Amino acid sequence: MNTKSSKSIILASSSPRRQELVAVLGIPFTVMPSHADETVPQDWNPEKMVTELALRKAQQVYDSLGTKPEAIIVGSDTVVVKDEQILGKPRDEEEAASMISSLQGRDHEVYTGVACIDAETGRTIVRSRATKVTMKPLSRNEVMAYVRSGEGLDKAGAYGIQGLGASLVTRIEGDYFNVVGLPLSLLADMLGELGLQVLD
């Protein structure tokens, strides 16, 4: 039996965007949303935050499994960083408008952490990736029109690059999929290390 081709993915996320990205890999997957605690100390840097939260999400799903299937659990977490300030998901439209206003006309970074746990062996790999994003200058009306679209209300930094938010961004340096919420090339490398080859 070819163990490489028989492994599947368990995605520890309820994010439709991450589900769409994992589907691109052509590997069977199931979704098991994580219920991990996401509170972290204020003094953690972005890389530590996203790697720890990605690991917590994957670990919580791993711990909840009765029998250990032939699968790799994937957890992920994304934050937007401006001037060393971490921007999570906005609480409401007012905070979303404040976030977009602070990002417009300048650069910021997007960090995503990825954790993979082999459900059979418990072997764990955790990594992160950063991408620089430049948002164009926006008028107050443009900011509010985007906020009212509702697209960014469930996203770190209050925008989504893969939707209407693409009209806000003029440049990225790095992995586009990292900004969407799951760096696929990094994930493919990690899966390969755990015996699941994406290009096999």
Q: Provide the pLDDT for residue 5.
A: 53
Q: Could you give the CA distance from residue 70 to residue 29 in angstroms, rounded to a whole number?
A: 11
- For residue 157, give Cα distances in angstroms to 6, 144, 162: 38, 15, 14
The set of residues, in sequence order, having a beta carbon less than 8 Å from that of 53 and lying 6+ positions away, is 36, 38, 40, 75, 77, 113
Respond yes or no: is residue 83 known to be catalytic.
no
Q: Provide the pLDDT for residue 46.
A: 95
Active-site position among 77, 92, 118, 154: 77
pLDDT one-digit tens code per residue, 83-99: 989 998 999 999 999 99
Q: Could you give the CA distance from residue 144 to residue 136 in angstroms, rounded to a whole number?
A: 15
Low-confidence ranges of the chain (pLDDT < 70): 1-5
Q: What domains lie within the chain, and their CATH numbers?
A: 3-193 (3.90.950.10)
Place of tokens 């994010």: 15
pLDDT one-digit tens code per residue, 19-60: 999 999 999 999 999 999 988 998 899 999 999 999 999 999
Q: Could you give the CA distance from residue 22 to residue 54 in angstroms, rounded to a whole number?
A: 15
Q: Provide the pLDDT for residue 68.
A: 87
Its pTM stands at: 0.92
Q: Provide the pLDDT for residue 42.
A: 85
